Amino acid sequence: MKNHHSIIMLVVAAVLATSCHTRHKAGIEQSNFGQFDGQTVELYTLTNHQGAMLKVITFGGIVTELQMPDRNGKQGNVVLGFDNLDGYLSPEYMRSNPYFGALIGRYGNRIAKGTFTLDSVTYTLATNDGENHLHGGNKGFNRVLWTVKPILGESENTLELNYLSADMEENYPGNLNVTVSYTLTDDNELKITYVATTDKATPCNLTNHSYFNLSAGEQPTIAQHELTIAADRYTEVDSGLIPTGNLPDVSGTPMDFTTPHQVGERINDDFEQLKFGGGYDHNWVLRGDASIPAATLYDPQSGRYMEVFTTEPGIQFYSGNFLDGTLTGKSNISYGQRAGLCLETQHFPDSPNQPEFPSTILRAGETYRTQTIYKFSTK
């Protein structure tokens, strides 16, 4: 009888083990997401063999949903977004303009006073963030329609998005041809690869503006998330969030994420840099080793763990300070302050005006190429 019981237990264990490692059907599906400027906005849904899911729309190349498993294998959406196009076009959204999940260009982050000089020519850009230029201007890459080519693979599926930004679009020089690839792998990685060429010298600094909440909406804020950033310095900013040129050491300050800290642990400290943006909204100077995570994020409640790998020299950690509850997203969740956080891989803010920073100038004949990987697991 004892042996019979043991056999039953072994069979049950085997069934459970099999169910935990079910091989899902992977693929890419296309559907209609709405209309913009008289054109159809398409939604592409990528799934992998683990059951993870990525949803991207052709408007703004926006990641609307990213489903990843918790420590019990339950899938949950770990990014902020909407179920329909109206969410991204509403007056409320346009007023706050949080750039949920969007591709950002030509220039991610800020350019001081909306001007820069390149090859003795001064260019004047839109000042859409106080007196400064932010995320490409009034109609950045987040508000254009991208063409899409789906690519099926054995262990990964890819969406290749393309956009040609015409010479002097938003007052940037040069015809910039941009290709961004979103790849969902069977290792539960979201790989984003950026490639661009130009026929005239131009600033180019591309990124993705996804807001992550690894609790999948179970927690209203990311205050309890544990963050590390592989950086010993950050770009100090003034009250307009423009770099001063100083690169202070993080040691002994709330900017030190060289070891894990909860996002909310020091966010209200009496520290001048945190007051300018109402929390974290800074660029960290990465150590420059693309083989180690530039950042990690862990939600102890769900067990979800995210590693960020990048070839970029910087990462902007933004703690969702300006979200104010006026937007309601997927699953009817109200997005209040710090409902999600961004880890935007990038070159440094205002680089066209700060020659000591790594250059963001792309010239004719050169190819801009960067890659960022968001890798998900549990612990």
The first and second tokens of residue 13, run together, are 């264990």
Q: Which CATH architecture has domain 29-378?
A: Distorted Sandwich (2.70)
The first and second tokens of residue 48, run together, are 């992998």
Neighbours of 327 (CB within 10 A): 21
Give pLDDT tens digits for 275-314.
999 999 999 999 999 999 999 999 999 999 999 999 999 9
Give pLDDT tens digits for 355-364.
999 999 999 9
The answer to whether 211 and 374 have CB atoms below 8 angstroms apart is no
Burial (CB count <10 Å: 0-12, 13-18, 19+), residue 347? buried
Whether residue 263 has pLDDT greater than 60: yes
Phi, psi values for residue 166, rounded to 5°: -70, 155
Whether residue 20 has pLDDT greater than 60: no
Mean pLDDT of 317-339: 97
Give pLDDT tens digits for 199-214.
999 999 999 999 999 9
Query: What pLDDT, on the 0 to 100 scale, is given for residue 112?
Result: 98
Sorted by sequence, the CB contacts under 8 Å of residue 16 that are 6+ apart come out as: none
**What is the percentage of the chain residues whose pLDDT exceeds 90?**
94
Query: What pLDDT, on the 0 to 100 scale, is given for residue 178?
Result: 99
Q: Where are the domains of the chain?
A: 29-378
pTM above 0.75, yes or no: yes
Give pLDDT tens digits for 42-57.
999 999 999 999 999 9
Give pLDDT tens digits for 150-200.
999 999 999 999 999 999 999 999 999 999 999 999 999 999 999 999 999
Whether residue 18 has pLDDT greater than 60: no
How far is CA 125 from each of CA 96, 132, 178, 282, 350, rounded to the nearest angstrom?
A: 20, 9, 20, 22, 13
Query: What pLDDT, on the 0 to 100 scale, is given for residue 22?
Result: 78
Whether residue 242 has pLDDT greater than 50: yes
Residues identified as active-site: 209, 344
Whether residue 12 has pLDDT greater than 50: no
Query: What pLDDT, on the 0 to 100 scale, is given for residue 21?
Result: 60
